[in-house]
Structure 1
Amino acid sequence: MSRFADQVVVVTGGGSGIGAGIAHRFAAEGATVVIAGRTQEKLDKVVAGNPAIRAHVADLTVPDEINALIASVVDELGRLDVLVNNAGVPSLGTVEAVTPDQWRAAMAINLDAVYHTSRASMPHLRERKGCIVNIGSMGGLGADYGMVAYNTAKGGLVNLTRAMAADHAPDVRVNAVHPGFIRDTGITGGVTPDMPIMQAYVQRIPFGRVGEIDEVAGVVAFLAGEDARYLTGLQIPVDGGLDATNGQPRLFF
């Protein structure tokens, strides 16, 4: 398929996991993709053997580096059609346990970076009638235990998405995808099927299994494509139906 032929896509946090999967999906459908992250080695592994993907090292907690990233993309490639704000890191702890520095660090990458990258990109996206897809988390739609900073940041991303969608329609569409338990990401990479945490999730998920990276990437690609041209402000869980349940375990089946 080539529905993104000639388009330019930026994927933050593209050096591994969901970000890498999203980058490969857009490249496979004809886009030129620029992945951004802190570590050259990780980015190079994603780029390897795929001429449609380029790497740009940037610390996404530093606004000047974000501005330089977007300026470089537009200068070198002439346009920006899609921004995928994927960069994020988990943060563990209750409100008593999380230190002010840990709180600020969680906000910097999970929420502030989305603001700065969107702000730098908006004029270029407007020129192309482009779009933003924010990668949130089910932890932004409901609380996890012991992840107060992460949940707060991802919850903020929900309304940031809605606010940008309202402010910039119809010129720039802004939607969010909220993965549930997705296999082989930075958070779940060490989890194996025999672990109690995996079994607990599988028990709760109506699909009876955890998700795959390409299942998230497919939803992102749909939202960025022409078929989604009248959609903005959406919050789409990619969780195998977990959000459809009321939190109770399986009682009868």
Structure 2
Amino acid sequence: MKIDEYLETLPENVLSGEDVQLPEKSLKDIFKFVKLKKDDIFYHLGCGDEKGVEIAVNEFGVKKAVGIDYNSDKIKKAKKNLEEKKIQVELICQDILNADISDATVILFWFTDENVTNQMLKKFENLKPETKIVTIWGPLPDCIPDKVEFPYIINKVPFKKAKSMQEQLLAIFGVKCVDFVTAWEFAERYTKAIGSPEIKNDRFLTIIQTLVIWINAKKLGVACGDDIPESIQTYIKLMKMNFDIDFEPMLKE
């Protein structure tokens, strides 16, 4: 089984973050990290359920909270839950590319589709100065983050553009190149941050994500050294022998 075939079998595409509902603890950590406050207008793009906007209102007392998601069933369910709790927030069923977010001061944005992120970057660039965009795992395309507490990252309008991949990497990871230790540490942070009851083996997913991080770094020319580290080779072999998960095609792309 090729690695891309395996990733498609994971619950809720946990490695990509697509359609994954963040645990309440992670949402609270993000809000503390971004210093969400009472005069903020908070938008959760791709909100899924109501937890993000609910916590923003109930525990951080924001002036306004808006959740936007294209999934009508999720929005309908979220609205019902909030009505029962008598919590005043705005939930909108809409494609985020068409959404009016002009009054936002803080935005939580977790999308991995390159087409979506590039289009949203243009929208974000037109927001008022000091608006904070919180992403998970990576910063906005070609941007230098203003603050990092991995896997959570803040970019503020106007954005600082990276001169190179190495400059962006240094800002995110605090290193000039990615070795096995760096890949493992940040993979572990990410896995724990998005952890849910569906994830039964955090260590296994951390290994998978470590290999994905390192191989991507290698392809981008920001891995440490020209050779494949022994630890990376060992895990690639283990994945192939014990789980029939093949990373070789990814290395050759």
TM-score by length of 1: 0.38
Larger Rg computed on CA atoms? 2
